[in-house]
Structure 1
Amino acid sequence: MAEAHQAVGFRPSLTSDGAEVELSAPVLQEIYLSGLRSWKRHLSRFWNDFLTGVFPASPLSWLFLFSAIQLAWFLQLDPSLGLMEKIKELLPDWGGQHHGLRGVLAAALFASCLWGALIFTLHVALRLLLSYHGWLLEPHGAMSSPTKTWLALVRIFSGRHPMLFSYQRSLPRQPVPSVQDTVRKYLESVRPVLSDEDFDWTAVLAQEFLRLQASLLQWYLRLKSWWASNYVSDWWEEFVYLRSRNPLMVNSNYYMMDFLYVTPTPLQAARAGNAVHALLLYRHRLNRQEIPPTLLMGMRPLCSAQYEKIFNTTRIPGVQKDYIRHLHDSQHVAVFHRGRFFRVGTHSRNSLLSPRALEQQFQRILDDPSPACPHEEHLAALTAAPRGTWAQVRTSLKTQAAEALEAVEGAAFFVSLDAEPAGLTREDPAASLDAYAHALLAGRGHDRWFDKSFTLIVFSNGKLGLSVEHSWADCPISGHMWEFTLATECFQLGYSTDGHCKGHPDPTLPQPQRLQWDLPDQIHSSISLALRGAKILSENVDCHVFPFSLFGKSFIRRCHLSSDSFIQIALQLAHFRDPQCLALFRVAVDKHQALLKAAMSGQGVDRHLFALYIVSRFLHLQSPFLTQVHSEQWQLSTSQIPVQQMHLFDVHHYPDYVSSGGGFGPADDHGYGVSYIFMGDDMVTFHISSKKSSTKTDSHRLGQHIEDALLDVASLFQAGQHFKRRFRGSGKENSRHRCGFLSRQTGASKASMTSTDF
């Protein structure tokens, strides 16, 4: 809901003639365009759609069916019940000389029609099966007979070895929730944080909305849901992200961290070589759809559409609205080092460069002594400027430096070779982690190309990180790619004993191409202003990261609670510090689980209210209730970083190779952004951000409250009462980082202490 506040300023610039046309034409046009975009996406990947569209069948199944029909025909049996004879009559006679060929063609046409009908039946059956959400409402660990039957049928109709997009045609449409249920859930959610007077006023506005406007707005949403595959996703992308005029840095982008305790090699170029190679291997698997689709709780496939834009993608600024530019392929990466830009090819004779060859290219950049040209060093600060400003400057830049700009925007992704080290240090673990997070989220304001789908950041000591642009996909997508990258570059590619990538350099490779920027004089002042704004924004961010290692997922399981709900309620306790007892805590956890499952089944509140609001703006309807909903300030924005590929990591032999997750900026000037990741069974790492300019927030203070809240909640359970005694007995001042960092260094070989949940 917090992100949707950016849509409050939306003003439809659509005009029409006549009162009746003015009421409906803009929204009908937008619904039509939404469906058109949806169908264009399907047509753009025709061949892959064909392979995945026939799933769970395959082209070989057509051959088998055709052969069976031919065999039956040879045995003088007619499985078509006369249809093939009618097809033969419709085919050209060709002078009666190719009677046998007409029979074969008739059999092929009949087999194709029968094959298509069977596949269509399978898709319809699977779509109906996947529309069932009763399994979400059942208690954890229990499964009713209807759900067992449903699961067996899903497995039968799902086939074997699905490709990434195999389920796309079988996924049910996003359901439009009942508007009465949505309003009721919204009022329930805001009741604890509003005064009696404010809540009564909100309830009055809600009833007025249900009486006057809700049915009309809901009708348009239902119309869109039947025409487009998702009634909200394209509007969410456009009005929440692409129409936002705020800088991307801090406000929209988020970051992903490297391993917390281990750096596989201290050589910057080597780490970059392996990481870039691993990322391109992931892209290769993505193009071949060899990545298995995500299954919710191992049962229900999720939409894979967001995977399409991981690579070769740039968000292009516009004066009123940005757009996402995605290329089919790109065989180079753009590299930034000490204020200079380079183009580094990733392929040689249609094959991917080896990690050692890529390391050689990155080392050449590091060894290049040439200085940055005037204003080139701070050029990328423009991507951290307000979007309208950057759009105007980019027009001049595209005219004067088209080739260099295309090399950056057309790259597979952006690579920043930072001149400073980063990561956890023994000398000052608290400050070093905070600085690491800040460097990934904001950098220096001019050393990231924030428009790219993601920037790979390689620090001088070999530490890695990602800065991700948000509009093209959500965190689970980039997180999936990042898990594969870390596991592949460490465990599959590996490093030699001297820290270099394995293999041998290639002396025949040409030098990396230095990009030349012919910067017109009129944009020099724009670069200076953008840099000044980026520095102000960067310096205003208060980042705090800490690993909480007194307990983790295993303890929460022993309490028979959802791990995510446990953390969410603890975060609420940390934020408000209300006293809670065990009974109330269980009620809160159960309520959070119910709301989570409702959202997973398409019955959430925020997207529905957001879509209703957008329709009201198209129709020029004033709804005080919807206006109030989207003007509220949400001071605590939280997110869990999911761990999706446990099989990629050998936690028994390499217990310290655990991901430390990532974070994002606060959604409100006086609020917090909090993300967390379960690092195995016995640790949770939190990433907290706020703005230093606010007198109401302090990231370190909230971190201490989170730690206290976790211990308070754990002490409600008999099995967790010793955690608080242990914590207080060790002293509060250093316990967090003594438990989280020093014990890892001295006890790294103990798998029980450092098990991970990959």
Structure 2
Amino acid sequence: MMSSLYTHIDPSLGMIDAIKENLPYKVYMQVQTRAVVSAILFATGVWLFFIYLMRFTLKTLLSYHGWIFESHGKMSTCTKLWLSLVKMISGRRPLLYSFQAALPRLPVPRVDDTIQRYLESVRPLLDSKQYNRMEILANEFKETESTQLQRYLILKSWWATNYVSDWWEEYIYLRSRGPIMVNSNFYIMDLLYMTPTHRQAARAGNVVHAMLQYRRKLERGEHAPLRALGTVPMCSTQMERMFNTTRIPGIETDIVQHLTDRKHLIVYHKGRFFQVWLYIGGRHLLPSELETQFQRILNDPSEPQPGELKLAALTAGARVPWARARLKYFGHGINKISLDAIESAAFFLTLDEEPQGYDPAKVNSLDIYAKSLLHGKCYDRWFDKSFNLISYPNGKIGVNIEHSWADAPIVGHMWEYVLATDCFHLGYTEEGHCKGDMNRGLPCPTRLQFQISDECQDVIETSYLLARQLADDVDFNCYLFSEFGKGLIKKCRTSPDAFIQLALQLAQFRDQSVFCLTYESSMTRMFRDGRTETVRSCTSEAVAFVRAMEDPCATNAVRLALFRKAAEKHQNMYRLAMTGSGIDRHLFCLYIVSKYLGVESPFLKKVLSEPWKLSTSQTPQQQLNLVDINKFPKYVGAGGGFGPVADDGYGVSYIIVGENLITFHISSKFSCPDSDSSRFGQHIRKAMIDIQALFKPENNNRTVENGKYVHLENGKKHM
């Protein structure tokens, strides 16, 4: 601006003079003051214009998803140019929430496309009569109600940051009136082979301190945003409610309560609740100070107050009795004060009494560990908290997570940071204590006080008995598949996820002799406020492959060709789900709109009532790349799992751990005579080995094209 005075060039093209002439109260300003104010206003406007221009440009660029459909390692020139532009605009060191406003909105698919994909997904599961009936319902819906419902959904997509996420949270999670323990909450395990200390208080001290470090970086936005290809940003909104968050029960629907920075933690041990302050003198407690506090709780000989032992069972039972009990017995007095302390805590810590963890000498050690994390004793976890940290006497740890506020990758991100910080940055003394001096001058943890009437204790016992029945019915099998892993699968030039999903289809058919509707969780976090989408893994191509595997007359070459076709189909469906062209979230939202408008849709009602007898999910690993697991192979996590979704089905969570290990967490119900988690685990193992055997060299010289055998000789086709 100053140089323009000497060169007699106006870079504002007269805009500064125009601002000068139209300034309010200009008659009271000196000429120089008016010039300075006008220049500042012009510069501010130019600055804001460029910020919004860059944001709009980045948002437009991020709306391009062609890269995800390209073959691995074969990036087009267009994608390379796009990638360069995104990198240039993104900056060098973006903060966690830097890209939030630039993320595109989740697009609403065309109804015709969604119905076509839906009918294609159910074709292998229905006989001709059932399929024709479903086709008629779909066409009737398309020709009648769909136009109106789609119009309202598009309108919502214009004003909401995400047309799915708020309804998904409310209607799938918060309005469910059944127990969230087992049915909704999930868990994540500790390191599989390594326990850095066997002192319970010390391990809890380090881990809690690492969590506080993570929370501080989260509040400051100092974590690097997760990015696909190292460039395409993922939505980080879910992380905001990781700490200081509780699910509050209601009669018709629950709510998620998120508070600002909380300075205390609630600890449960032997039926007693303690409040531990996490700050002193404006700083976090050091690991050694936290160890001191937790050891004091472990040494405390006091007994639980009447009704206190099983109090948390209220959060494990049905939601309506808990909501009524909360209003009646915890709405005033000392009970309200103590409940407020629990619900406003940063998170909930249980100092468990029974050692857990992986023991190669005990066949079912991981199964027991998983059930402990999933439901415990049904009264020693506060299932409404965003997450419960569980610390065991042998130094093992784990977390139980309430599902409504976030999905597994979000908590997995925090868990990776915590484990790496615990083992590689904080460390322990030779005796297994936290490093640093013990501070004996800290005020002791405070016991929470309750006055629980006999009537309230009866309500607690009723919730406990319901939860106990649910927990005892869970059949869990955690299986370590170590025959091969991601490394060998990639050498077969196929997707590890597609490989495992097809193995699950083969295992399911061998276990039940029928195919079933299969749910695989995909993510939509490339969009603003994105969460998950469903991939329907039981495709016609997968069914054809499984039938070939079970057909003794089929050759391995034919089976391999069908496998590749099914794997490619699965990958394409996964890509469509990630880019907003899935099936189930669109149909779910159309159903919600129909309910709001009072429109009856037999098609949508039928779709939404279909049971998922095989529900699967892959938990991502190495989101932060803080630990080189090739260099430190003992520092691998065991992943996590969830309870069965259907009474007569399986829940399968799998984790691809490094190059040579895959862990499977399999759940079902004892009350179902047709399911057996251990048996299903063995079917998975055999299916994985059988599929891998197809990739032997002798099976790669024959394939199938258009139903005809093709023999390859020196790369040339011969019929």
Identify the residue that residue 551 of structure 1 maps to in structure 2: 484
Cα distance, 1:83 vs. partner?
A: 1.2
Moved more, 406-415 or 192-201: 192-201
1:616 aligned residue: 594
| CA 1:601–1:653: 2 relative to 1, 3 Å | closer
Which residue is equivalent to 1:102? 34
- Give the aligned partner of residue 655 of structure 1: 633
1:730-749 to structure 2, matched below 5 A, reads none
Partner of 2:526: none
Task: Identify the residue that residue 342 of structure 2 maps to in structure 1.
Answer: 408
For 1:358, the equivalent position in structure 2 comes to 290
State the distance in 2 between where 1:404 and 1:523 align. Answer: 15
C-alpha distance in structure 2 between counterparts of 1:520 and 1:99, whole Å: 78
Aligned equivalent of 2:419: 486
Deviations 1:135-183 (A, max 9, x none): 1111111111111111111112222211111111111111000111111
Structure 1 residue 522, shift from structure 2 partner: 2.3
Q: How does 1:446-595 map to 2 (within 5 A)?
A: 446-577=379-510, 578-579=546-547, 580=549, 581-595=559-573
Q: Is 2:127 the partner of 1:195?
A: yes
Q: Please give the alpha-carbon distance, in whole angstroms, between the structure 2 residues aligned to 1:267 and 1:673.
A: 34
- 1:592: how far off? 0.6
Check the 8 A contact 2:312/2:380 in 1, yes or no: yes
Which residues of 2 match residues 222-621 of structure 1 at below 5 A?
222-395=154-327, 396-400=329-333, 401-428=335-362, 430-577=363-510, 578-579=546-547, 580=549, 581-621=559-599
Q: Do 2:246 and 2:385's aligned partners in 1 also have CA atoms closer than 8 Å?
A: yes
Q: Count matched residues.
A: 652
Aligned to 1:636: 614
Structure 1 residues 612 and 84, CA gap change in structure 2 (3 angstroms): same
1:672 pairs with one of 639, 647, 650? 650
Task: For 2:371 and 2:246, locate their aligned partners in 1 and report how far apart those are by CA, in whole Å.
Answer: 23
Asked whether the equivalents of residues 714 and 720 of structure 1 are also in contact (C-alpha less than 8 Å), the reply is no
Q: Distance in 1 between matches of 2:8 and 2:424?
A: 60
CA contact (8 A) 1:254 1:665 kept: yes
Q: Are the equivalent residues in 2 in contact too, given 1:397–1:519 (CA < 8 A)?
A: no
Output the CA distance in 2 between the equivalents of 1:452 and 1:702. Answer: 32
Q: Residues of 2 paired with 1:198 and 1:72: CA distance? A: 78
In 2, Cα distance between equivalents of 1:303 and 1:320? 30
Say if 1:332 and 1:411, in contact at 8 Å, map to a contact too.
yes
Note the alpha carbon deviations across 1:162-212, whole angstroms, 9 max, x for none.
111111111111100011111111111111122222111111111111111
User: Aligned partners of 2:499 and 2:6: how far apart in 1?
Assistant: 67
Show CA shifts across 1:381-416 (max 9, x none).
Answer: 000111111000011213241111011000000000
Cα distance in 2 for partners of 1:200, 1:660 equals: 45
- In structure 1, the partner of 2:152 is 220
Match of 2:332, SS?
helix
Which of 63, 71, 77 is matched with 2:9 structurally?
77
CA deviations over 1:295-336 (Å, ceiling 9, x no partner): 123332121111110000000000000000000110111100
Q: Which amino acid aligns with 1:263?
A: T
Determine the structure 1 residue equivalent to 2:541: none
Shift, 1:260, TM fit: 0.7
Q: 2:659 aligns with which of 674, 677, 681?
A: 681
Asked whether the equivalents of residues 641 and 676 of structure 1 are also in contact (C-alpha less than 8 Å), the reply is: yes
Instruction: Say whether the 8 Å CA contact 2:613–2:649 is kept in structure 1.
Output: yes
In 1, the alpha carbon distance for the partners of 2:42 and 2:8 equals 16
Aligned-residue identity in percent: 52
Asked if the contact 2:227/2:233 (under 8 Å) is kept, the reply is yes
SS in 1 for 2:331: helix
Instruction: Give the deviation of 1:70 after TM superposition.
Output: 4.2
Residue 72 of structure 1: how far off its partner (Å): 3.2
Counterpart of 2:330 in 1: which secondary structure? helix
Paired amino acid for 1:417: L
Task: Pick closer, same or farther for the CA change 1:631–1:92 going to 2, 3 Å.
Answer: closer
Query: Which is helix-richer, 1 or 2?
Result: 1
TM-score (norm 2): 0.89
Query: What root-mean-square deviation, in Å, do the aligned CA atoms of Structure 1 and Structure 2 show?
Result: 1.4
Provide structure 1 residue ranges, at least 5 long, that are not aligned to the other structure.
1-68, 722-758
Please give the alpha-carbon distance, in whole angstroms, between the structure 2 residues aligned to 1:70 and 1:626: 67
Q: Distance in 2 between matches of 1:551 and 1:435?
A: 25
Matched position secondary structure for 1:647? coil
Counterpart residue identity of residue 90, structure 2: S
Deviations 1:32-73 (A, max 9, x none): xxxxxxxxxxxxxxxxxxxxxxxxxxxxxxxxxxxxx34434
Change (3 A) 1:653 1:302: closer
Q: Tell me the equivalent position of 1:158.
A: 90
- Give ranges in structure 2 of 5+ residues lacking alignment: 511-545, 550-558, 700-719
- Preserved CA contact (<8 Å) 2:630 2:658: no
Distance across 1 between alignment mates of 2:496 and 2:11:
56
Shift of 1:278: 0.4
Q: Relative to structure 1, is the Cα distance of residues 287 and 252 closer, same or farther in structure 2, using a 3 angstrom cutoff?
A: same
Deviation sequence 1:70-98 (CA, Å, 0-9, x none) = 44346543211111122222335576664
Distance 1:71 1:291 in 2: 41
Question: In structure 1, what is the Cα distance between the partners aligned to 2:43 and 2:91?
Answer: 21
Give SS of 1:648's match.
Answer: coil
The residue number in structure 2 matching 1:185 is 117
Partner letter of residue 680 of structure 1? Answer: G
Q: AA paired with 2:9?
A: L
> 2: CA distance between counterparts of 1:610 and 1:77?
60
Q: Counterpart amino acid of 1:544?
A: N
2:103 to 171, 177, 187: 171
2:618 is matched by which residue type in structure 1?
Q
Query: Normalising to structure 1: TM-score of the pair?
Result: 0.84
Distance 2:29 2:154 in 1: 57
Q: Specify the code of the residue in structure 1 equivalent to 2:316.
A: A
Deviates more, 1:232-241 or 1:144-153: 144-153
CA offset digits 1:75-129 (Å, max 9, x no partner): 5432111111222223355766643232221111101101111111111111111
CA distance in 2, matches of 1:339, 1:112: 60
State the shift of 1:694 in Å. Answer: 0.8
Whether the aligned pair in 2 keeps the contact of 1:70 and 1:107 (CA below 8 Å) is no
CA distance in 2 between counterparts of 1:94 and 1:84 reads: 14
CA contact (8 A) 1:640 1:677 kept: yes
Amino acid at match of 2:595: R
Counterpart CA distance in 1 for 2:37 and 2:624 is: 50
Query: What is the alpha-carbon distance in structure 1 between the residues aligned to residue 230 and residue 29 of structure 2?
Result: 57
Deviates more, 1:647-656 or 1:498-507: 647-656
Instruction: Quote how far apart the aligned CAs of 1:552 are.
Output: 0.3
Q: Corresponding residue for 1:141?
A: 73
